[in-house]
Amino acid sequence: MKSQITDKQFKRITRRELLKLTPVLALGAFAIPALQKPLLKAGLGFSDWVSAKMFRTGHLAPTFADSELTPFPKFPINGYDVADPGIDFDKWNLTVSGAVRKPGDYILAQVQTLPKFNQNTRHICVEGWDVIGNFGGVHLSDFLKMVGADMTARFVYVECADDYYETLDMETALHPQTMLCYEMYDQPLTREHGAPLRLTIPTKVGYKQAKYLTDLKVTNVLQRVGYWEDQGYSYFYGL
Amino acid sequence: MSTQAIAIENAKAGEVSEAVYEHPFLVRLCHWVNAVALFVMIGSGLQIFRAFPSFGAKIPQKDLINWPESFAIGGWLGGALQWHLTFMWIYIATGLVYIGYQIFSGNYKQVLFVRRNLPGVWPMVRYYFFFGPKPPVREAYNPLQKHAYTSAIGLGVLSVLTGFAVWKPVQFSWLAWMMGGFHWARLWHFLIMWAILAFVFGHLVMVVLHGWNNFVSMLTGWKKNPEYLPK
């Protein structure tokens, strides 16, 4: 049995059905200049929140055989401004501050007293390229223990010789593969790769892995987040 | 069943036409929101690709293709990532709501390509591309159409899976591994975009060819005098 309606009734039904789709127009908010920035910021913030939730402290990034390594000369150098900020290695030290029991200036030899480890891990740039490198250094978590850091603090903030700066969440800072790196391919770190001390973090994208460290601060409050983050890149960017 | 027809009486013209409610509300809503999200995902994806337009080594880098910025969304890598990482949630949400609704309502039968539809594909291809005779129209979607939509939904799922392998190759290391590693996941993600674009192109051509009445059905849900109703 087919129901019968009038032309008018049909028009009323179809109009109502069409109007039900008006929520689609809400997407137009992204086209309004005044709303676009905050909306995209919220979207990126949501992605960062999900990323932090997805991050598993015990889950290790894949490691690779020596035969899979990218040859050292083909390991790209992506400094944001200079390849060599002109550090005087003899005078260099890492200034530790913030929520730590033993603040002060740490020289490389002090860092090197901690147990050394090596790993072949994938380095992924936000641009899309990736290489597998060999890195040697110490666990950042060991160093944080050495300086008596408050592990319940939220952030590990670092500054660099070339006025680059970065912030790590404490969970990532304590991850077993997060490294204070002073060697690549069994050789002391070269200047363009961040000598004398850099971060390598196989669970983060490249720009989080700051080079030529000069300052490290354990803190709950941030004046600024990171060189790229403060221009609109993702803060967490966990891989 | 949603394909129940109603009769519409136009007293003035003294005519009776028929209409079928072909596209339920959630299907239409997801279709249009997803269409916008897909547009943004592809546009911002192309801008992201411009940062490293290659699938080989960074050193030495061989650029594959560098399309103009006017084909892309976001203006720069950071901007494009904001669009991409925002609209991916809209893209995923509409996909999940759509698939969930289709399964629970049983409406998937209208779209899903099954083995029974296989013999009907070639006659439709012959009709569209080789001037063959028009096969009889028996239901809302013909076999070729079902094949196209089912493939498109499959590609949508793959675009999300490959995307997660590129975005989270450590947390989803098994996913990246299944795709042949991060390198390959990025290539698959890119190729799937082109496959989706090919579908969109064919889809738009068909929408134009089939005219206004067919197009409006995706807005109101109702299609007037569909061919498959018994005359």
CA distance B115 to chain A (A): 32
pTM of the complete model: 0.93
- In a 3-state reduction of DSSP, which class is residue A236? coil
* A24 vs B contacts (CB less than 8 Å): 29, 32-33, 36
**Paired residues of A76 in beta bridges:** none
Half-sphere exposure for B110 (CA within 13 Å, toward CB): 17
A162 versus B4: which is more confidently predicted? Answer: A162
Q: What is the pLDDT of residue A115?
A: 97
Cα(B59)–Cα(A131) distance, integer angstroms? 10
Q: Which residues of A205-224 are buried (b: 16+ CB within 10 A; e: fewer)?
A: bbbbbbbbbbbbbbbeeeee
Length of chain A in terms of residues written: 239
Q: Mutation test of the interface with chain B: which of A40, A59, A192, A204, choosing the one with the most B Cβ atoms within 10 A?
A: A40
pLDDT higher than 60, residue A27: yes
Q: What secondary structure letter does DSSP report for A189?
A: P
Round to whole Å and give the CA distance between B46 and B87.
14
Give the separation between CA A81 and CA A135, rounded to whole angstroms: 23
CATH superfamily ID and name for B24-212 = Transmembrane di-heme cytochromes, Chain C (1.20.950.20)
Task: Return the pLDDT at B230.
Answer: 73
Radius of gyration over every alpha carbon of chain A, rounded to an integer in angstroms = 24
Specify the length of chain B in residues.
231
- Give phi and psi for A96, each to the nearest 5: -105, 130
Residue in A48, A33, A26 with CA at minimum distance from that of residue A205: A48
**How large is the ipTM?**
0.93
For chains A and B, count residue pairs whose Cβ atoms are closer than 8 Å: 148
Q: By the 8 A CB rule, do A216 and A157 touch? A: yes
Q: How confident is the model at residue A80 (pLDDT cuts 50, 70, 90)?
A: low
**C-alpha angle A60-A213-A208 in degrees, rounded to nearest 5:** 40
Q: What is the mean pLDDT of chain A?
A: 94
| Domains, chain A, ordered by start | 63-231 (3.90.420.10)
Torsion (CA) A100, A105, A109, A111 in degrees, nearest 10: 20
Q: Which residue of B has its CA nearest to A18?
A: B220
DSSP B128-173: HHS-PPPPPP-SSS-HHHHHHHHHHHHHHHHHHHHHHHHH-TTTTH
Least confident range from A93-102, A160-169, B28-37, B67-76: namely: B67-76
- pLDDT mean over A215-233: 95
Handedness of CA A78, A80, A84, A85 (dihedral sign): negative
pLDDT at B61: 87
Distance CA A58, CA A48 (A): 19
Mean pLDDT computed over A132-154: 97
Q: What span, in angstroms and rounded, lies between the C-alpha atoms of B176 and A122?
A: 13
Burial class of residue A180 in the structure, from the number of CB atoms within 10 Å of its CB (0-12 exposed, 13-18 middle, 19+ buried): buried
Q: What percent of chain A is predicted at pLDDT more than 90?
A: 89
Supply the pLDDT for residue A79: 66
Domain ranges of chain B: 24-212
Give the distance from residue A65's alpha carbon to the nearest chain B alpha carbon, in angstroms.
14
Task: Lowest mean pLDDT of A76-80, A210-214, B142-146, name the range.
Answer: A76-80
Q: What per-residue confidence (pLDDT) applies to B2?
A: 45
List CB contacts of B193: < 8 A, sequence separation 6 or more: B42, B45, B159
List CB contacts (< 8 A) between B93 and chain A: none
Interface test with A, best of B82, B168, B172 (most A CBs within 10 A): B82
Query: What is the full per-residue pLDDT of chain B (231 aa) written as tens digits?
Result: 445 788 888 878 788 888 999 999 999 999 999 999 999 999 999 999 999 999 988 888 888 887 788 889 999 999 999 999 999 999 999 999 999 999 999 999 999 999 999 999 999 999 988 999 999 888 889 999 999 999 999 999 999 999 999 999 999 999 999 999 999 999 999 999 999 999 999 999 999 999 999 999 999 999 988 888 876
Distance between CA atoms of A143 and A108, rounded to whole angstroms? 12
Q: Which residues of B touch A202 (CB under 8 A)?
A: 170
**Cβ–Cβ of A18/B48 closer than 8 Å?**
no
pLDDT at B3: 59
Q: Which residue in chain B is spatially nearest to A9 when comparing CA positions?
A: B8
**B77 within 8 A of A156, measured Cβ to Cβ:** no
Locate the chain A residue with the closest alpha carbon to B59.
A74
Chain A residue numbers with beta carbons less than 8 Å from the beta carbon of B12 are 7
Tell me how far apart the alpha carbons of residues B7 and A4 are, in angstroms, rounded to a whole number: 5
